[in-house]
Amino acid sequence: MTTTTTPLVEIQADDHLRDRLTRTLDAMPGEYLAAARGAHITIRMLEHGERFGDIDRRFTQFDGKPPGIIGGLYCRDRAIVVLARLEPFILAHELSHVADAALGDGTCWRSQLDDRIARAYRSAKNHGLFISAYAQVNILEYAAEAFRAACGYGPPRPAGRPTDLERLARIDPLLVEAAKDWLGDLRARFPLASTTSP
């Protein structure tokens, strides 16, 4: 495994994955990258045969889960994003957690403090309308799934099926507006952020 420090984050991965990860990061919203830099985040790819618990024993709860369910994780106190698979939507989801934590008050994450997100989450639960099944887990996962979709990232869809951003705009327009505000707050807090917006 090689460690590379880009202008924004430290990357730990083998050469092939490091290059792919660097290209994937380059395409991410500048606001996310600036938040990751501000939080001194390391992004690490699991090596072949490596498990989440090999990095930190607290992560063993994620070992053995199907990779389609747990593609990555973010640990705020370790300032690390760990990826089991390199998919842009998984990286965007984990960087959404980084941004959510960075915009919080040091104890709670932004999604735990923003009334709009709480209302939207309750409404989604009441109506059973979530952008993904994973968004149902809790408000942190709900926000991360919504904001990665609002930034235009989602799993590949068959031709003719709506993107996650189109679905989010239809089922949860309040969150699309919250995402715009969220990205604006990231731009204000982290001056290296670009002007990318959903």
Q: Torsions phi, psi of 38, nearest 5?
A: -60, -30
pLDDT of residue 151: 85
Q: How far apart are CA 73 and CA 52, in angstroms?
A: 9
What are the structure tokens assigned to 67, written together? 């990779």
Q: How far apart are CA 57 and CA 51, in angstroms?
A: 10
Please say if the pLDDT value at position 4 is more than 70.
no
Query: By C-alpha distance, which of 93, 77, 75 is closest to 24?
Result: 93
- The domains found in the chain, sorted by start residue, are 2-189 (3.40.390.10)
What are the structure tokens assigned to 140, written together? 């942190």
Provide, rounded to the nearest whole percent, the portion of the chain with pLDDT above 90: 29
- Mean of the pLDDT values across residues 133-140? 91
Q: How far apart are CA 140 and CA 109, in angstroms?
A: 8
Q: Is 52 helix (H, G, I), strand (E, B) or coil?
A: helix
Q: Torsions phi, psi of 4, nearest 5?
A: -130, 140
Helices (H), the chain: 15-26, 30-38, 52-55, 88-102, 110-113, 115-127, 139-150, 164-171, 173-189
- pLDDT band of 100, cuts 50, 70, 90: very high
